[in-house]
Structure 1
Amino acid sequence: MPRRFWIAALSLWPGLPQVWSGQEVMGLILAGVFAATLNAAIVTHAIWTEAVSPAVSTFVTALAAGTWAAGLAYTLWWVWRCHPERYRAEIERLYREATEHYLRGRWNDARRRLEQILTMDETDADALMQLGTLYLHTGQPDEARRAFRQCLELEGGVKWRWEIAQAIRLLDRG
């Protein structure tokens, strides 16, 4: 099944699709706000029924429903308009251009293309690996280390583990 379908299915709980797709901070904010409003609605309807007026209870319930609807709307909008899969052809074109510029020694042009890719999809391990290599060749060891470590943290970065270990060893020696 396509990843977009899974993200849309996870939308039943606001924030879960964002956490699953790598937007942890946004996901935790959405999930926390929804959980707080849902808990408040449950407490005002089931526990503090006499301590809270029916108007407040109705308001809190409407707030929880509104939070859920807003989280769902945001997630569906993100899946439809902003998901990295939407930009796959553009990312591939930019990657080819970055590789071409890299091979010709046009470091700034290659760097710009790789940064554009990472703007569209911050989980692109191949672009991070290439960016780290570019930083390595242009004498920017701190940036290279940072890019390599970011790459290792990604799911797709596992395939680059050996190459990254070699590059970091080279950086530590020099």
Structure 2
Amino acid sequence: MPRRPWIGLLCFWPGLPQIWTGQEVFGLMLAGFFAATVNLAVAARWVWVEAFAPGWADFFAAAAILTWSVAFAYTSWWVWLCHPERHRQEINRLFQEAVEAYLQGKWNESRRRIERILALDDTDADALLQLGAIHVRTHQPEAARRAFRQCLEQDGGSKWRWEVERALAALDSPAS
């Protein structure tokens, strides 16, 4: 199943889609808050009935429903409007233009297009590799190292491991 619909299915449990897409801290906070409100609602209604004043069970249930509704709405909005797959055609066009500008020696023009790609999909390993190459050409070794290391951290970065390791070795050699 493609990633975007799978994330859409995950939105029924708050926090899970965020964890799946790399927003671990936000996802854990959302999941923790939802789980806490659900547990408090269940405990106040059926387990520790005497421990809570009247009305608290309804408050916790409402908080759980509200948390679920907001998380579901946010995740649905993100999956259908902001997910990188929605912008795949524009990303491909921008990448082609960036490579053409790079080959013509128009480093800044290429960098701007790559940065636009990364604004749409910050996990694009191909764009990160290209950004690292641009930084090498423009004599920005620290920025190049950052881009290359970030490339290796992405799912698609393993296909570029050999090239990135060679580029990092070249940056670390005394001649550069």
| Fold shared by both chains (TM-score > 0.5) | yes
1:38 CA drift (Å): 1.9
1:120 — aligned with what?
120
Letter in 1 for 2:169: R
Kindly indicate whether the alpha-carbon contact (under 8 Å) linking 1:129 and 1:151 is maintained by their aligned counterparts in 2: yes
1:26 CA drift (Å): 2.8
Letter in 2 for 1:2: P
| CA deviation map 1:37-95 (0-9, x unaligned) | 22222332233210102301111111011101111111111111111111001101110
2:138 — aligned with what?
138
5+ residue gaps, structure 2, are none
Kindly indicate whether the alpha-carbon contact (under 8 Å) linking 1:22 and 1:123 is maintained by their aligned counterparts in 2: no
2:101 — aligned with what?
101
| CA deviation map 1:116-157 (0-9, x unaligned) | 000000110000010011111111111011111111111100
Identity %: 59
5+ residue gaps, structure 1, are none
1:89 — aligned with what?
89
Under a length normalisation based on structure 1, what TM-score does the superposition of the two structures give?
Answer: 0.95
Instruction: State the 4+ residue runs in structure 1 displaced beyond 6 angstroms.
Output: none
CA RMSD of aligned residues (A): 1.2
- Written as runs of structure 1 = structure 2, the 5 A alignment for 1:21-32 is 21-32=21-32
1:23 CA drift (Å): 2.5
Kindly indicate whether the alpha-carbon contact (under 8 Å) linking 1:135 and 1:144 is maintained by their aligned counterparts in 2: yes
Under a length normalisation based on structure 2, what TM-score does the superposition of the two structures give?
Answer: 0.94
1:4 CA drift (Å): 1.9
